[in-house]
Amino acid sequence: MNNKRLGGQTVALQTPPSVLSFSNIGGKFEGEGPLASYFDELNEDSFFGEKTWEKAESAMQKKVLQRALGKANLRPGDLDYILAGDLLNQCIGSSFSLREFGIPFYGLYGACSTMGESLALASMLIDGGFARRAAAMTSSHFCTAERQYRMPVPYGSQRTPTAQWTATAAGCTILSDDGPGPYITHVTCGRIVDKGITDANNMGAAMAPAAYSTLSAFFRDTGTRPEEYDLIITGDLGELGHGIVREFFQKDGVDLGERFQDCGLLLYDRENQDMHAGASGCGCSASVLNGYLLTGMRKGRWKKVLFAPTGALLSPTSSFQGESVPGICHAVSLSAER
């Protein structure tokens, strides 16, 4: 089975797993953005009917999982695994959402790369013959993230221009050994890259070298070129980080062009919604993938998409202790055809 490992960090799936169904959910600001029509559910209530924002985040995950199951006519018992994680301390968004489902669960922590990490591992479990169906899921919530990483929301702290806006959103993909596509053809596992950036309000710049590292590895390992993809999309680098990655490739003589985009630059209206450098959070790339991107692929808008969300592996404690921000990026390649 050696041909699965392409060398480097990339694996070619022998029988590319198919997307069976997908679902996303968003909050008020996501509903005011340009991708609003691609959401299954938008809720103006930041509590999603719960008593706390943390419980709200769990409720969001519960809802997207239920919807994704419903769209595929599946019960929880039909899933062999769910791989999920989130930004909350000890990943309580995922663990509390999954209490009632009884699905075998591997918990992940990849910060905002979690949608890529969960899809990558779920794909390998299916292609390796260990599962027929597996779900990949993650979420973020503006209010839980602000309280945990920065300041409680009611303080109304001023934000720096490089800051991004954590999306209140969740997304879930159900993969299967058989289905209508799109198919996951390759996965590239990221290495931690830390270039010494210590400004926790400039995560885009901190994560950009990781995105460059994983995307370069993907092209090198697969022997493909950016032009062969209709869309190469990072997770939440935002304006600054995305520009840095584009520049890194330019230095290599590679122009990524218009096909190079970022979920964080698509989720909100860059003119009329004041989100500074763009959207961020696990829920950003998760909700853009499980709405706008997968819908577009099913409709034939894009045939080959390289999805590469990045994560900043810091904590408030590590920043207080003067540490820089380690970044990671996990990529999965999606294709309309097997």
- Considering only 36-44, 160-168, 187-195, 247-255, which stretch makes contact with a second copy by CB under 8 A? 187-195
DSSP 16: P
| In the block, residue with structure tokens 């840095």 | 244
Out of 265, 313, 332, 336, the residue judged to bind a second copy by CB under 8 A? 313
Out of 197, 314, 331, 336, the residue judged to bind a second copy by CB under 8 A? 314
Residue 2 within binding range of a second copy, rule CB under 8 A: yes
Residue type, 299: K
d(CA 168, CA 110): 18
For a second copy, which is the closer residue by CB, 127 or 239?
127
Out of 66, 109, 159, 254, the residue judged to bind a second copy by CB under 8 A? 109
335: closest CA among 314, 305, 311? 305
- Considering only 126-134, 159-167, 226-234, 237-245, which stretch makes contact with a second copy by CB under 8 A? 126-134
Out of 191, 198, 227, 257, the residue judged to bind a second copy by CB under 8 A? 191
d(CA 134, CA 70): 14
Residue 127 within binding range of a second copy, rule CB under 8 A: yes
DSSP assignment of 180-245 equals SS-EEEEEEPPPPB------TT-HHHHHHHHHHHHHHHHHHHHT--GGG-SEEEESS-HHHHHHHH
Nearest approach, Cβ of residue 160 and a second copy (Å)? 21
Residue 110 within binding range of a second copy, rule CB under 8 A: yes
Nearest approach, Cβ of residue 24 and a second copy (Å)? 22
Residue 262 within binding range of a second copy, rule CB under 8 A: no
d(CA 313, CA 66): 29
For a second copy, which is the closer residue by CB, 131 or 297?
131
Residue type, 327: G
Six token digits for residue 268: 């909100």
Displacement of CA 116 from its chain's centroid (Å): 5
Residue 111 within binding range of a second copy, rule CB under 8 A: yes
For a second copy, which is the closer residue by CB, 40 or 285?
285
> Within 13 Å of residue 61, how many CA atoms lie on the same side as its CB?
33
Residue 152 within binding range of a second copy, rule CB under 8 A: no
For a second copy, which is the closer residue by CB, 126 or 288?
126
Residue 107 within binding range of a second copy, rule CB under 8 A: yes
Six token digits for residue 252: 């290599």
37: closest CA among 278, 262, 299, 258? 299
Out of 66, 269, 315, 338, the residue judged to bind a second copy by CB under 8 A? 315
CB distance 287 to 167 below 8 Å: yes
The residues in 39-98 that bind a second copy, with binding defined as CB under 8 A, are 51-52, 54-55, 80-81, 85, 87-92, 95-96, 98
DSSP 314: -
For a second copy, which is the closer residue by CB, 92 or 254?
92
- Considering only 166-174, 191-199, 201-209, 267-275, which stretch makes contact with a second copy by CB under 8 A? 191-199
Does an H or E element contain 327, and which?
strand 327-329
Peptide bond into 154 cis (omega under 30): no
For a second copy, which is the closer residue by CB, 90 or 250?
90
| In the block, residue with structure tokens 């559910």 | 41
Nearest approach, Cβ of residue 9 and a second copy (Å)? 5
d(CA 105, CA 101): 10
Binding stretches for a second copy (CB under 8 A): 1-2, 4-5, 9, 11, 51-52, 54-55, 80-81, 85, 87-92, 95-96, 98-99, 101-111, 117, 120-121, 124-125, 127-132, 189-192, 194, 313-318, 321, 323, 326, 328, 330
